[in-house]
Amino acid sequence: MSVSVTIVGGAPPPDLAAQAPGISLEELAKLEGPLLDHLRGTPGEAARFLDDPASVLRKVAPQAGGLLTAIEARQAAARASVPDGGGVELTGLQVDVQKGKPPKPTRET
Amino acid sequence: MANLAGFDVCMAIGPTGLGQVLQTQLQPAARSALTGVPVPLTGAPISTLDVESFTIAPGASIDGVQHRATVIASGTADVRMSVDGTGLVTALPGVQIPPAVSSVPISTSFAVAASLAVTINRPSGTNQVTIDQALVTVTTPGFSQQAVATSLAQQLTAKLNAIIQGITGLTLQTAQVNAAANAIAADVAGEVVSAVTSRLRGIFPLPFVFSMPPVNASAFCGIGLHDVQLALLAGGAGADPCLAIATKQMPGASGDIGQLASPLPSGEPAGLFFDNLFLTSAICCTLRHAPQFAGLPNPDPPGPTTTDPCCRWDNINVQSVMNNQTFNVHKARVCLDSSNAADKRFTVHLEMTTSGTGWDATVNVDFGIRLGLQGKTVVPIVEQPVIDPHVNFAWWVIAIGILLVAVIALIAAALAALVAAIIAALASISISLVLTAGIAGAIGALVGIAIVAAINDALTSSLTATVKAAANAAGTGMSALSVIPDELQALFGQVDASVLHFDDVQVLGPLVVKPPANEPAILVVDDLVVPIDQDVDLDRGTIVSVSDPGCDLMWHRVGLVATGGALAAAAPIASVLPHGSDLGGIVFEFPPTLEARRPAGFVAVASSYVGLHLAQVRGLPFGFGGGGAGQDRIPQAASPPERPLVAGVLTGEGRYAKCAFWRDLGNRLHVRFTLWDTPARVRVVPRWTTVRGDQVSSTPLWTVYNVSRTGTFRAIPITLHAPVTYTWLWNGTPIQAGGGPLPGGVSSTDVGLDWCALHTDFGVGLDGELCVQATDRFGVQATVCQLLHVSGTDRVSNVVVAPAVVAATEPPVEPSPGPILLPLHEQLRSRLEELANR
């Protein structure tokens, strides 16, 4: 399956705090500008961000140690809940990066 | 591919297959008609013709111009006659001519041949197909008048001499005997031809009734069995002549049988032909009925059409919740792609969207489906789907650990469900097609295998169950569709698929005709509507009252059928009560019950009405208790249901019948029945001898003894022509003289000319089925079976009912080796059977 992904900018919604305990939304919001600047024009880094966001964030904002630790913990938990990549083999990936508002949520995942 | 002239499905049967069909349908009727035929021969006032070994060749020629098929039959005939020999013998004065001379039996044999040209059609507006006779030609090949005359004269002389032997003064007038024989022989050929021709014509027309299920316009897009037409078609370039059974399935089908050319490719025995527009329409309709596409409107733009074999939904927003995720289907398309003549396929395109917190996704999917043949089974073969998802992620969603792979897995699982729904739509077509082709076995598993193998392994786990669910849902639509009425398939055979061509679909292969072996002539096929508290005489095919001696089946409310007595006299008359008896203002509801009246029998079966043949009805365990069914077992509907209650019935006049029952909304009983001209040709009369052995147990009330039994069963032919030979079977194993032991408790067996005996050891019960197969001189067979469940012990009452003084003076009863009477119900049954056979 060949997938194209667009990474979109925008501030995290306030209610995200309830879904992501231990993560400071204020600190997270500060990462948007540097991260999107880092990813834009570098598809390899964008793809890496999809697969291992903590490592890319650590490059962009090495000073945000506490936040990064919390993010790594969430990633580990997420991977554990989707064993073997969810049974989906990605044979192609195209990534684009856009600044702007994030997609409007219609349903909680 | 042939043009179906506006029809949607056509079953074509070539000359060979049609010959088999006609042989199956005509031969039993002809054989029955050609036995015991009176022949008016000069000089032989009583003459009877029996045509033996009358065989219709398993081939036919189809004359499409004359719209008739011709089969050839041959056989041998016996003419038996009684010649008045009084004038052939001279007696001296005072010597009386023996009375036997007035009727001297002689006979002769010769061959007969017949050509039967028949037409097969469906009278307009009826639910029956008729095989009618266009021309019957009979000859007596090899008949030599001179030789027969000589033979008859020799027989007559010998018979007369045998009669007058030892009586002096009587002389034969040889010249007169020769003259008489010549006179008879001169007429034999012509009279036999006339008699056989007349009898063969008499078996026509042969009507075969079939059902036309009502089409519910809203249930399956108006697709259903709208019309059936038949024609005998001439061959053409690359096409063989055939009998075509063409059906209209689409609401506006324009089929014109006059425009239909034979679709049967040369050399193929039979075929099923499906119009592409019908197939595509059925697939699109099935898709709309799939749960994953609930709410799908009519295709927009409307389709499919002949020029655009697609159903498209271009601007829709159908929500479908799958795996707790809401998906919006915006576009769906199923097309028949004929662009590559050598590679026809269905193409499917889907577009849908879904979203979650911080992400949304648009997914396009394309895949193709081909119809393939695995063994003899038609299966959809699904190509690898091409899935093109695009996902928009907010950066922070990724940051907090929402993995792309998890979103893709979510989409893929849902997509699999949608794809599966489409595949199931196609699968249901194939299931239906294969069912029609008569090879339904294991189709479900094969379809599942084909689909699963074709789908990305990564989706397998979610797809397998989804496909099954979707196939089940889709199965309520297309797979329930009857493209050729079951009765016509049973009559004209089924196509065992061996070659599949796609666009239009052709399933070619051998015709499978399943003849009911030795099926006697069907006397009548009819429908009756029985009001409550009325009854049926199947032998007369009419509604009768319960007091009618011919009553076979009763449709009565319990409690209102009692006749006579103070209670019955006081009770209200059943016919004036709509629901039950009104007693003191309280209305008692008496649901009607279907019951067989003694001595008729009624045994409900699991078989379909069409699939129930005489041989199976004969084997049913009819007892003397009648049998029946409560109204709850009889389906109620406004129109004939697909699954009526089916039963075999033994009528009061000894004929077998099969019946289908259903109730209308007014609770009237609808009966469709087929009555065979089959009085039980042989009966079995049992006699039991029981020898008491050791005591097993005793209580103040009962003493139980081991017993050994001998059952002697005598076969009595009713309608078979002597000599009759018998084969006795115990649980399917032939019984031998001096044989045994056999499973089921038989210690030893004996067999005589028309009887057999089963012996049991002490304490051993008998449990099994005893059958006798009788075969008469014409090869006509009859089989009767009895289920035997007899205990290995007897229980004797210890309660003294005789005068006590007698009991006190009697010595203690020792186990006696003498015969012990059977229980009363067994005695009654045995006695009743004896009486019935008198």
Which of A66-70, A83-87, B422-426, B759-763 comes out lowest in average pLDDT? Answer: A83-87
pLDDT at B424: 66
Q: Where are the beta strands (DSSP E) in B297-455?
A: 310-313, 318-322, 325-337, 345-356, 359-374, 377-382, 386-394
Cβ-Cβ contacts under 8 Å, B391 against chain A: 3-6
**Interface A-B: count of C-beta contacts within 8 A:** 141
Instruction: State whether residue B627 is helix, strand or coil.
Output: coil
Are the Cβ atoms of B409 and A87 closer than 8 angstroms? yes
For B442-480, write each residue's pLDDT tens digit: 333 333 333 333 333 323 333 344 444 444 444 444 445
For B24-73, write each residue's pLDDT tens digit: 888 877 877 887 788 999 888 888 888 877 889 888 999 988 899 999 99
* Residue B389 at interface with chain A, using a CB cutoff of 8 Å: yes
Of B122, B411, B341, which is closest to residue B244 (Cα–Cα)?
B122
Cβ-Cβ contacts under 8 Å, A89 against chain B: 458
Are B728 and B771 in contact by the 8 Å Cβ rule? The answer is: yes
* Residue B695 at interface with chain A, using a CB cutoff of 8 Å: no
pLDDT at B720: 64
Spatial separation of the C-alpha atoms in residues B403 and A5, rounded to whole Å: 12
Question: Per-residue pLDDT for B611 more than 90?
Answer: no
Cβ-Cβ contacts under 8 Å, A10 against chain B: 394-396
Distance between B768 CA and the closest CA of chain A, angstroms: 57
Closest CA in chain A for residue B389: A3
pLDDT at B430: 55
Closest CA in chain A for residue B458: A87
* Residue B323 at interface with chain A, using a CB cutoff of 8 Å: no
Nearest CB to B458 within list A7, A89, A109: A89
Tell which of A8, A15, A28 to mutate to test the B interface (max B CBs under 10 Å).
A8
pLDDT at B293: 72
Distance between B428 CA and the closest CA of chain A, angstroms: 28
Tell which of A88, A96, A107 to mutate to test the B interface (max B CBs under 10 Å).
A88
pLDDT confidence band for B821 (50 / 70 / 90)? very low
For A37-61, write each residue's pLDDT tens digit: 888 888 888 888 887 888 898 888 8
pLDDT at B439: 37
Are B639 and B665 in contact by the 8 Å Cβ rule? The answer is: no
pLDDT at B777: 65
Instruction: State whether residue B613 is helix, strand or coil.
Output: coil
Are the Cβ atoms of B326 and A106 closer than 8 angstroms? yes
Question: Per-residue pLDDT for B820 more than 70?
Answer: no
pLDDT at B803: 34
Are the Cβ atoms of B393 and A57 closer than 8 angstroms? no
Instruction: State whether residue A103 is helix, strand or coil.
Output: coil
Closest CA in chain B for residue A101: B394
Nearest CB to B390 within list A4, A20, A105: A4
pLDDT at B137: 95
Question: Per-residue pLDDT for B229 more than 90?
Answer: yes
Are the Cβ atoms of A109 and B360 closer than 8 angstroms? no
Closest CA in chain B for residue A23: B400
For B628-666, write each residue's pLDDT tens digit: 888 899 999 887 776 789 899 988 767 788 899 999 998
Are the Cβ atoms of A8 and B387 closer than 8 angstroms? no
Question: Per-residue pLDDT for B397 more than 70?
Answer: yes
Are B704 and B565 in contact by the 8 Å Cβ rule? The answer is: no
pLDDT at A1: 62
* Better pLDDT: B729 or B402: B729
Distance between B459 CA and the closest CA of chain A, angstroms: 7
Distance between A2 CA and the closest CA of chain B, angstroms: 6
Are the Cβ atoms of A103 and B390 closer than 8 angstroms? no
For A2-40, write each residue's pLDDT tens digit: 778 888 888 888 887 777 777 888 888 888 888 888 888
Closest CA in chain B for residue A54: B399
Q: Where are the beta strands (DSSP E) in B44-91?
A: 46-56, 61-63, 68-83, 89-91
pLDDT confidence band for B802 (50 / 70 / 90)? very low
Spatial separation of the C-alpha atoms in residues B588 and B583, rounded to whole Å: 8
Are the Cβ atoms of A32 and B396 closer than 8 angstroms? yes
Nearest CB to A53 within list B359, B399, B405: B399
Q: What is the DSSP letter of B549?
A: T
pLDDT at B669: 95
Cβ-Cβ contacts under 8 Å, B461 against chain A: 87
Cβ-Cβ contacts under 8 Å, A5 against chain B: 390-393, 404
Cβ-Cβ contacts under 8 Å, A51 against chain B: 404
pLDDT at B425: 64
The tokens describing B173, both together, are: 């007038």
What are the C-alpha distances in Å from B388 to residues B313, B351, B411, B415?
19, 9, 11, 11
Are the Cβ atoms of A79 and B403 closer than 8 angstroms? yes
pLDDT confidence band for B194 (50 / 70 / 90)? very high
Tell the burial category of A5 from Cβ atoms under 10 Å away from its Cβ (0-12, 13-18, 19+): buried
Instruction: State whether residue B512 is helix, strand or coil.
Output: strand
Are the Cβ atoms of A106 and B398 closer than 8 angstroms? no
For B72-100, write each residue's pLDDT tens digit: 999 988 888 889 888 898 888 888 888 88
For B307-365, write each residue's pLDDT tens digit: 888 989 888 888 877 767 788 889 988 888 878 766 778 888 889 888 888 888 888 88
* Better pLDDT: B156 or B541: B156
Cβ-Cβ contacts under 8 Å, B416 against chain A: none
* Better pLDDT: B374 or B333: B333
Spatial separation of the C-alpha atoms in residues B29 and B518, rounded to whole Å: 10
Nearest CB to B358 within list A50, A85, A102: A102
Work out the percent of chain B whose per-residue pLDDT is above 90. 21
pLDDT at A105: 47
Work out the percent of chain B whose per-residue pLDDT is above 70. 74
pLDDT confidence band for B170 (50 / 70 / 90)? confident
User: Considering chain B, what is the average pLDDT of its residues?
Assistant: 77
CA dihedral B293, B295, B298, B301 (to 10 degrees): -70
What are the C-alpha distances in Å from B164 to residues B89, B168, B179, B699?
9, 8, 20, 75
Cβ-Cβ contacts under 8 Å, B405 against chain A: 82, 85-86, 88, 90
Are the Cβ atoms of B360 and A104 closer than 8 angstroms? yes
Spatial separation of the C-alpha atoms in residues B729 and B714, rounded to whole Å: 13
Nearest CB to B392 within list A6, A13, A79: A6
pLDDT at B837: 44
Nearest CB to B405 within list A71, A77, A88: A88
Q: What is the mean pLDDT of residues B512-534?
A: 70
A27: Cβ–Cβ under 8 A, 6 or more apart, which residues? Answer: A64, A66, A67
Distance between B461 CA and the closest CA of chain A, angstroms: 9
CA dihedral B811, B812, B815, B820 (to 10 degrees): 70
Cβ-Cβ contacts under 8 Å, B399 against chain A: 28, 31, 35, 53, 57, 71
Nearest CB to A78 within list B358, B393, B403: B403
Spatial separation of the C-alpha atoms in residues B432 and B479, rounded to whole Å: 4
pLDDT confidence band for B574 (50 / 70 / 90)? very low
Tell the burial category of B422 from Cβ atoms under 10 Å away from its Cβ (0-12, 13-18, 19+): buried
Are the Cβ atoms of A8 and B393 closer than 8 angstroms? yes
For B282-317, write each residue's pLDDT tens digit: 777 877 776 667 777 888 778 788 888 898 988 888
Task: State ipTM.
Answer: 0.88
What are the C-alpha distances in Å from B823 to residues B97, B224, B788, B794?
58, 57, 14, 9
